[in-house]
Chains A and B, each alone.
Chain A
Amino acid sequence: MVFTPKQSQGASAPSSFIETTGISLKPSYYHDILDRRPELGFFEIHAENYLSLGGPARYYLQKIREHYAFTIHGVGLSIGADVPLDPSHLQRIARLVDEVQPEVFSEHLAWSTHDNVFLNDLLPVAYNQATLNRVCEHIDQLQSTLKRQVLIENPSTYFEFHRSDRSEIDFIAEMAHRTGCGLLLDINNVEVSCFNHRSNPFDYINRFPSRAVGQIHLAGHSLDENTTIPLKIDSHDTPVSHEVWDLYQHALTTMGDRPTLIERDGHLPTLSVLLAEARQADHIRTNIRQESRHE
């Protein structure tokens, strides 16, 4: 089943989501946001943190949603698992999406559940036909339950499988083609994975199916400096690195402007610091849009 992107309802002005960068919504920012109401494209939440029936998460989500556009990022559907999606979890996600009416719902090309246990990490899949069939089935099920197109994010990975018989890009392109899903291009994940597999991140961006990209994530990473095989870790606990800014500039130059999120999960700075990173992305985006108008 193929879905077309959800149109923004009613208003003729472009949604702030399209042109202005957003940031991750974290509980430590709730009061500051409601007091200051900073100008911002949107907030992104992790679906699994907002499924309770009451409490502060639900309360502040409703308050902040009155003033801002939202995107929802799932971290627990386990699209890549070799078991069916958890139907009750899927229903809870569907209710949240229905209530919040986000600009975008996104999930990961990864798995996290097995045998009824949740491992709380985004674990890698082998890129072969069996995985592709399974992932596409799960995306079809997700899109038909949510009644909208979803975006699937390229993963950060720390090893490659012998069982993989095609590249990550070929896998992702085929997945998007078969399901009609959009793609979330996480540029920090590109930097992390390409560093860890000693490949060129600019080539990765050049070959990525750019027409399907509906959102970009920018985040920070850390470095495991062991002497055997230094690895970059997708930690989301530092500012966006200069390598990632360079790749972002390159990505927008080749594919044009895209909705963008500054993603931060750990060592949270003040709201102002995160907003400044969002403005840095906006600066790059404005230039890209102006250049494309002159061409």
Chain B
Amino acid sequence: MNKAFRDALFHQDMAFYEEIKGHSDEEKAIRFNVYRNNVYVSLIDALADIFPVSQTLVGDEFFRAMAREYLQENLPKTPIIGEYGATFADFIRAFEPSKSVPFLGDLADLEHKLLTLTHAQEYPTLEHEQISAAFNNTSDPTRLLLGLSPNTSVMSSCYAIGSLYLAHKQPRRQNVAQIQPYNSEYLLLSKRSIYGEVYIISEAEAVFIQRLMQNKTLEQAIPDDAMFDTGSSLAKLIQWKLITHVSEADA
């Protein structure tokens, strides 16, 4: 009977009303609609909580209509509602009415990745002094391997989704209206303390970090790019607390 109940939640057919006590079909509909409403509203609210910047960007009415369409075909797979919406970004990219906001899908993707990071296990990372010591103790720093936290990832988009996200999160520091959304961006995602964080990086820095993650030595990881500044890039990795260990590559 759970199946018939579930089907009735998402379709307006009246077959299930035979199960319900009531004086009229109208009464039965009102009673059953409490459940229908609870399911829809609670799941739409959950998506609004998970994708707050996307919601702000397109407005409450548009967002809720889109979320309603999404949930009908994409119900949560587990009772952990904080994990809901992993496929929402793909849904948005294919959702015709959102095509006028072409960066919305990537932005939602970023929001979900950051929330997943926030929920992820934390890993201890090295302090500045420990990293300095490792550099001072080697005869050839170019042969060092820098291990990065498993919570580190690099993401790119044709749109300025990192700037849009940060401007919405910190409206006093950057004016959303001044952002050019059609500029591409490279982003570093990681975890600082107990929260997921995003940083806007250059293409060369993205290459550098990806190579470090592939276990390349410092020398192998440094991109062939005149604009790339190894010192300041390393300083960022240290400041953002990404480095979990430093070791020397085998000769």
Contact = CB atoms under 8 A, between A and B. Distances in A.
Interface of A: 48-49, 51-59, 75-78, 81-83, 86, 89, 111-121, 123-124, 126, 158-163, 196, 224, 226, 228-229, 231, 233
B30 to A, nearest CB: 5
Interface residues of B, number: 41
B46 A55 contact: no
A117 B96 CA distance: 26
Nearest to A113: B79
B19 A161 contact: yes
B2 to A, nearest CB: 5
Nearest to A75: B79
A137 B9 CA distance: 27
A120 B32 CA distance: 16
Contacts of A52: 80, 82, 119-120
B43 interface: yes
Given A120-B42, A159-B22, A51 B80 contact: yes
Given A89-B79, A224-B34, A56 B28 contact: no
B124 interface: no
The 4 closest A-B pairs by CB, nearest first: A76-B79, A52-B119, A53-B121, A159-B31
Contact of B20 (A58, A83, A161, A233): A161
B31 A231 contact: yes
11 contacts: A52-B80, A54-B119, A54-B122, A55-B118, A59-B194, A114-B3, A114-B6, A121-B39, A159-B21, A161-B19, A162-B18
Contact of B1 (A76, A82, A113, A118): A82
Contacts of B24: 228
A163 to B, nearest CB: 7
A138 to B, nearest CB: 13
B32 A159 contact: yes
B12 interface: no
Helix, strand, loop or mixed for chain B's interface? helix
A76 B79 CA distance: 5
A114 B39 CA distance: 13
Nearest to A80: B2
Interface stretch (B70-78, B203-211, B222-230): B70-78
B79 A112 contact: yes
A115 B3 contact: yes
Contacts of A163: 1, 19
A54 B3 contact: no
Given A115-B3, A162-B21, 11 more contacts: A49-B82, A52-B82, A54-B118, A114-B3, A120-B76, A120-B79, A121-B38, A121-B39, A158-B35, A224-B34, A228-B27
B124 to A, nearest CB: 12
Given A159-B21, A224-B34, A119 B120 contact: no
Contacts of B39: 119-121
